[in-house]
Structure 1
Amino acid sequence: MAATTTRTLDLLSLLQSHRHWPARELTDRLGVSDRTLRRDIERLRELGYGIESTRGTAGGYRLEAGTGLPPLLLTDDEGVAIAVGLRSQAAAGLRGAEHTTLSALAKIEQVLPAALRRRIEALQSHTSGETPGSGPSVDAGLLGLLALFCRDSERVRMRYTDASGATSARSVEPHRLVLLGRRWYLLAWDRDRDDWRTFRVDRVDDVFQTRVRFAPRVLAEGEAEQRVQAAARWRDVRVHARVHIDVPVERFHAALGWWARDAVPDASGGTVWPLEVETVEHLAFALSWVPAELTYRVEASDDVLAALRARAARFARALSDPSPERQATATRRSDRDDRG
């Protein structure tokens, strides 16, 4: 009985990891006969799993959506990944997901072994970065739907509003959802433009499920993320600067950590920190991260430098010596404090 249960769980794990399995491949992987495979499939169906079977030479099985949520089989790494994501409030930017996030986290952590809980605590305390909660709000249902389209290689029709406010109808083949900074992006093959396109998910609307499958295009490892980064940089980056810091790059990395990841050494033994941001305000904010004990020089276009000087002058005026009347009032207050 124990062997049967283990084999059935192995079968469930395989069905959850791939959209469609040929029957012959399943029997080979599990080391069972066709008859035993059919019996295990029936056991899973009795537990509430919807499993679709197809006949013929290419026949096989696939896990399909049912009327309820049956138990899920997760590996240790998958359980840790889900718990870390929930703990980090990765769904904080999804409308209506606040209470369900906490509920899901409680259910997962209740059954996690102590060793995995310690692993999660270590990940939480030794990692940092932005969370999507500070970015544009994204509908949780839409994000989940697009993820399913990517997984199942299903063609989609949708309406998209670009940065200028223009709206257009798109027919796309979804490939990957990418979280970059504070925003979710969908990388997809645009059938009308016959090329890859990147779409901000918060600008996607009126998604229509076509139920038409397509053969997914193959991208190299990490290429999807690189394409999204390049597209987002081309659209959003308007301000470029190079910051020269008078310390070795190792010291600068130690001071700023992850934020100094693009910094490189220069010929004089100092550091060059390239910055690409959306606005001068963002540039000024980035410069404020440089520790006070480090001296630096900003290299940028004339208009960017002029904007920084204007902001510096505004700060200087705000922090200048108070008027004579306010100075006299402050002096009298100080004298009273000394006597009291």
Structure 2
Amino acid sequence: MTELERLVHLVPYLKSHQGVTVEELAETFGITPARVLADLRVLQFVGLPGGYYGDLFEVDINGAREHGDVFVRNVDALGRPMRLTHDQVASLLVVLQVVIDMGGDDPAARSALAKLQALSLDAPPPVDVELQSGDTAVRAALTRALESRLAVLLAYRPGGRVPQRRAVVEPARLRTDAGFGYLDAWSRARAAWRTYRLDRVDDVTVLDEQVTPRDIPEQLDTWFGDVQHTLSVVVTDGGRWCADYYPTTEVREVDDGTEITFPLVSDDWGARLLLRLGDDVVRVSDPAVLARARALAGAALDHYGEAP
């Protein structure tokens, strides 16, 4: 259970178990007493929108520390019918449509979506959600594997010049980020976590191999784990900013500037980087990327027409 999930369950539990001890809470939620006290400190900043006195939950932290029992106040809002603003309804509509798009035909999500859409005649209009989440059959197979805790065989394209690959992985979760759908999974071949963009997954075969759930790290540094190509660019002092702005594999000082090496996801990405750096580029390691940058620059200039 994540920290957020635990806090969501903790508030109603405390409301119905006034005076519960810190030790009992630790045993119930499978955490340490120190973690319980830390969660209680967080709850002091949780409550109704506004954040003023009377809006937030009140937790007797001193009593919990000194006497070991926990009392909460001002949690009556949990028993009131939910009242949503138009902005909140619109946000929930978007989230529910993403859940349905990513997880397949989820009856609970569709039921909640229908209820929200029928809230009132003044409700926000339907929202179109454009999500690059790959093929429906791919998502359905991954959802089934996640629900049944089964391994899968992926056929996927890492991007750039790398051809299609196949890998047996243990799916951990489906998620979205910046308009794209992703699968976080444990790669058996690499014995490490990997992230796969769903629109680059061509096929999924669900294997008859049960897997044991693994704890997913809070921060997954897997974005460039399968990128084999790199791009080295020597820049002037004016171009050093890109070493802090983009992921790099090496940064070193050379005679004519600073050489920065990037994982090269695609030639187009490298070309756009060169165009952004402009005159700060001294040397480029990959002729194909340089040629692509020149082609993009030429195409852009063509839009301006011939000079008078």
Normalised by the length of structure 1, the TM-score is 0.39
Normalised by the length of structure 2, the TM-score is 0.42
